[in-house]
Structure 1
Amino acid sequence: MLALRLARGSAPLALLRRLLLAGAAGCVAFLLLAALAHAAADPVGGRASVLRLAWCAVPLAATVQLAVAVARADPSARPRAGLAVAGMGPARLPALAAASAAVAALLGTGLALLVFLHLRGDLGGLPLDGAAAGALAAGEPLPLGGMLTLLAVVPGAAAAAGALAVRRPEPPRRDLPPVGDPAAVARATPPTPAPAGLPWGTALATAGIALCAYGGDDAPATPADGWLPVTGQLGGVAAGVVGGWLLIAAGIVLAGPGVVHLSGMLLCAGRPGVMRLLAGRTLQDESRRLGRPLGALAAAGGALLAAVELDGLREFGPLGTLGTGVVLACALGTVATVADDARAARRSATATLLRLGAPRGMLRGAAALRAATLLGLLLPLTWLTTFLLTLPAGG
C-alpha cells in the first residue's frame, strides 16, 4: 500500500520511468506467452520452442537492467526522515523498491495477458478479436500452471533486481575540497581509480570471437518458422556462433565503465583548461554509473545493425521485431535514467562551484563536452560490436 501511495505522489518523470518499465514487462510477458502457445500447438517441435523461449531471455535481461536503473533513480528508494518515521528505514528500503518494481511489472503483465487472450480470440466483442489466432495457436488449450509461471517471471525478476539495486547502491560522489576558486577545485579533486572491467571485458569479447571461429564449423541449427533469425543468411547458425555473439555483447557491456573512465583520462591529459578538466574528472567519477548502460546500448545497437547487414530482419517476424524493440527501448531508457540520476547527484557539486564564482557558461560547456564525449564513445562501440558480430559471416 505504501508503494502505491508513493507511486501516486511521484513526480511525472518518475511515473514515466515506471510506465516504461510496465510496458517493457508487458512486452516480455507477451513474448513468453507466445512461446508457450507455440509449444502447445507443436508439442513435437521441441527445438523451435526452446529457441523461442531462449530469445525471450534477451529482452528479459534488458528489462531487468531497466528495473535496476529505475529503482536506483526512484526518490522513494533513498533514506528520508518521513519514511523512517513510517517505519521504512534503510533496512526496509529494499522491500519498498521490490514492491514498487513488482507493481509496475504486474501492471504490464496483466495488460499483456489481456492483449494475448484478445488476439487469440478468447475475449469476444472487441475490435481485432482473434487477429493473431494463427500465430498464437488459437483453439489449443494452454496449461494454467505454465501461464501463471511465465507471468510471474518478469515481476519476480524486476522485484529482485530492484531490491538488490537499493541494497547495493552506486558509490556516492565525493565532496569537493574547500578551496578558493573553481580552477583550484578542479585541480585539487583527485582522479577516481579506474574500474577493473576493461581487461575482463576485452578478454570476454576475445573469447567470443574465438568461439564464433570454432563454433562456425559445427552443424547448423534447425531453422525455425520465421520468428527467430535462424533462416536466410542468418540461417543455419551454429550454437557456438550464437554463444560467441553473447560473449561479445557481454564483453562490450563489461568493458563500458573502463572505456568511459579512459575517455575521462584522455580529456584530462596534457595541460587541460578548467572546462576540460571538470568534464574529464566528472566522467572518471561517474564511469561506474554510466559505463554499463552505455555498453548495453552499444551492444543492442550493434546487434541491430548486424542483423540489418546480414539481411536477417525480414526473418524476424512480428514477435521477433517486438523483442528487438523492447531491447532497444530498455537500453535507451536505462541510459536516460542513469544520466538523469547522475545529473541529480551532481547538484551539490554544481551549487558549490556556483558559490565559488564559476560561470554558468563554463558549467554548461563542461556538460556539453561530456555529452559529446559519450556520444563519441557510443558510435565506435556500436560499430565495433557490429563488426565483431558479422565476423562469422564474413569469414
Structure 2
Amino acid sequence: MVLGRWLLVTAASAGSGLLLLSSLGWALAHPGGGADGAVVRLGWCLIPVLVTVQLAVAVGRAQPAGWPRTGLSAVGLGRTGVVMLAAACAAVTCTLGSAVALAVFLQLRGDVVGVPWNGVGPGLLAAGRPLPPAGAITLLALVPVAAAAATAFRLREERPPAHDAPGTLPWGVSLVAVGLAAELTAPSGHEVPLPSGLGSISPAALAAWAVTAIGMVLAGPGIVHLCGRLTASFRPGAVRLLAGRALQYEARRIGYPLGLLCATASAALAAWDGAHALGPVSSFAAALIAVCVLATSALALTETRNARTAPRAALHAVAASPAVLRGAVAVRAGVLFAVLVPVTVLVAALSTYP
C-alpha cells in the first residue's frame, strides 16, 4: 500500500510535468503569439501542480507513522531527521515523475525515434524546434522542490490532533461570502481565457473564486464538527451517538480534504458547459486534478479508519453488535453527503452568475 501511494505521487508528478512542458512547447511553437498566451497557459498549470503537491504532502505525512521510531533514533535521526527524510522521499518521488514526463515529452516530439506524434498536434510539442534545457529543467523542478518544502513545513508544524471544536468555520464562511460577493460584483476588464474555449473570466472574478475555494477548505472541519453535534443531539440512540461523536473527533483530520473536494467539485460544476467538449489537454488536466483530490481524501479517510482501532476494540470488548458499527459508518456518510452536496451545488450555482 505504501509503494502504491508513492507510485501514485510519481504518476501525478509526471502528469503535472507533461502539462508544464506542453505550455513550454506551445510558447516555442508560437513565437509570435505574444507572452500573454504562454503566461495564461502556464498559469492554468498551477492548479494541477498545487493538487499534486497536496497529494505528495498527504502521502509524506502518512509515511513516518509506519517508520520504526526506535530504529531511527538509534541511528541519530530525531524529529528533524524524520522530517528531512520524509521531505527527501517526496522530492525523490516527484523527481522520478518529472524524469518520466521529460522522457514521454521527448518521445512525443520525435526527439527519440525521429517521428513526432500527431495525436495532440504540433502546437503543443514544437517538433523540430530545439527544447531549451534551462526552461525545461526549471519547469520540471517546480513540483519536486515545492513538494519537499511543503512536506517539511507540514511535518515541522504538525501538532498532536486536537479534538475540540474547530475554530476555522467562521473564517471559512466569511471567505466564501466575500469570494462570492466579489465574483458577483467583479468588473469586466482584461479577460483571461478559459481552457478549451469555455469562454473567459475577469482576473477579479478568478481571484474571488480562489478566495471562495480557500474558504470552503477552511470551513470543512467546522462543517464536519457541526454535523457531528447535530447527529448526536436530540436524544440519540447508540448508532447516532457513535456517529456524531466520531464526526466530532475526526473533524480536523477529514475536514480539510473534504473541503478541498467540495471546492474542486463546485469549480467543475461552475465551469462545465455541455455545449463545449474539453480538448485532450484540458481533459487530461481535469482527470489529473480529480485523481489527486480523490486520492488525498481517500488517504485522510484511511488514516481516520486506522486511528479508530482502539475504539473498535473497546466496542468489541463490550459485545457491541457489528450492525451497530456498520450503522454508525452509514449514518456518518449519509450526514456528510446530505450536507456537503447541497453546499457544493449552491456555491457552484452562485459562481456561475458572473
> Does TM, normalized by the shorter one, top 0.5?
yes
Aligned residue identity for 1:365: G
Q: Offset of 1:248 from its aligned partner?
A: 1.6
Q: Which residue of 2 aligns with 1:92?
A: 81
Q: Which residue of 2 aligns with 1:103?
A: 92
Q: Which residue of 1 aligns with 2:218?
A: 254
Are 2:52 and 1:35 aligned?
Answer: no
Distance in 1 (CA, whole Å) between partners of 2:164 and 2:214 is 23
Q: Offset of 1:220 from its aligned partner?
A: 4.5
Equivalent positions of 1:7-46 (< 5 A) are 13-44=1-32, 45-46=34-35
Q: Which residue of 1 aligns with 2:191?
A: 221
Distance in 2 (CA, whole Å) between partners of 1:312 and 1:285 is 44
Q: Which residue of 2 aligns with 1:193?
A: 164
Would you say the 8 A contact 1:220–1:236 is kept in 2? Answer: no
Q: Which residue of 2 aligns with 1:326?
A: 288
Question: Cα deviation per residue 1:67-86 (whole Å; 9 max; x = unaligned)?
Answer: 12112222556562122223
Would you say the 8 A contact 1:121–1:131 is kept in 2? Answer: no
Aligned residue identity for 2:50: A
Aligned partner of 1:371 among 333, 336, 345: 333
Identical pairs, percent: 45
Aligned partner of 1:48 among 11, 33, 37: 37
Distance in 2 (CA, whole Å) between partners of 1:56 and 1:371 is 33
Distance in 2 (CA, whole Å) between partners of 1:331 and 1:74 is 18
Q: Offset of 1:103 from its aligned partner?
A: 2.0
Q: Which residue of 1 aligns with 2:175?
A: 204
Q: Offset of 1:359 from its aligned partner?
A: 2.8
Aligned residue identity for 1:244: A
**Judging changes above 3 Å, is the alpha-carbon distance between structure 1 residues 172 and 199 closer, same or farther for their aligned structure 2 residues?**
closer
Aligned residue identity for 1:208: G
Aligned residue identity for 2:2: A
Question: Cα deviation per residue 1:92-138 (whole Å; 9 max; x = unaligned)?
Answer: 11111111111221121111111111111111068x74644342211
Aligned partner of 1:162 among 141, 151, 160: 151
Secondary structure of the residue aligned to 2:79 is coil
Q: Offset of 1:390 from its aligned partner?
A: 1.1
Equivalent positions of 1:111-122 (< 5 A) are 111-122=100-111
Would you say the 8 A contact 1:295–1:381 is kept in 2? Answer: no
Question: Cα deviation per residue 1:175-217 (whole Å; 9 max; x = unaligned)?
Answer: xxxxxxxxxxxxxxxxx432122111111112212221222x3
Q: Which residue of 2 aligns with 1:286?
A: 250
Aligned residue identity for 1:221: E
Question: Cα deviation per residue 1:328-386 (whole Å; 9 max; x = unaligned)?
Answer: 11110011111001111111222223223333332222122222222323322321232
Aligned residue identity for 1:229: P
Question: Cα deviation per residue 1:2-25 (whole Å; 9 max; x = unaligned)?
Answer: xxxxxxxxxxx2111111111111
Aligned residue identity for 1:27: G
Aligned residue identity for 2:228: G
Distance in 2 (CA, whole Å) between partners of 1:281 and 1:275 is 10
Aligned length: 352
Q: Offset of 1:29 from its aligned partner?
A: 0.8
Q: Offset of 1:65 from its aligned partner?
A: 1.5
Q: Offset of 1:158 from its aligned partner?
A: 1.3
Unaligned runs of 5+ in 2: none
Aligned residue identity for 1:287: A
Q: Offset of 1:277 from its aligned partner?
A: 1.2
Would you say the 8 A contact 1:47–1:222 is kept in 2? Answer: no
Would you say the 8 A contact 1:298–1:382 is kept in 2? Answer: yes
Distance in 1 (CA, whole Å) between partners of 2:335 and 2:317 is 27
Distance in 1 (CA, whole Å) between partners of 2:11 and 2:159 is 26
Q: Which residue of 1 aligns with 2:50?
A: 61
Q: Which residue of 1 aligns with 2:236?
A: 272
Q: Which residue of 1 aligns with 2:132?
A: 143
Unaligned runs of 5+ in 1: 1-12, 174-191
**Judging changes above 3 Å, is the alpha-carbon distance between structure 1 residues 66 and 313 closer, same or farther for their aligned structure 2 residues?**
farther
RMSD of aligned residue pairs (Cα, Å): 2.2
Would you say the 8 A contact 1:123–1:129 is kept in 2? Answer: no
Further displaced range: 130-139 or 362-371:
130-139
- The TM-score with structure 2 as length reference comes to 0.92
Would you say the 8 A contact 1:263–1:283 is kept in 2? Answer: yes
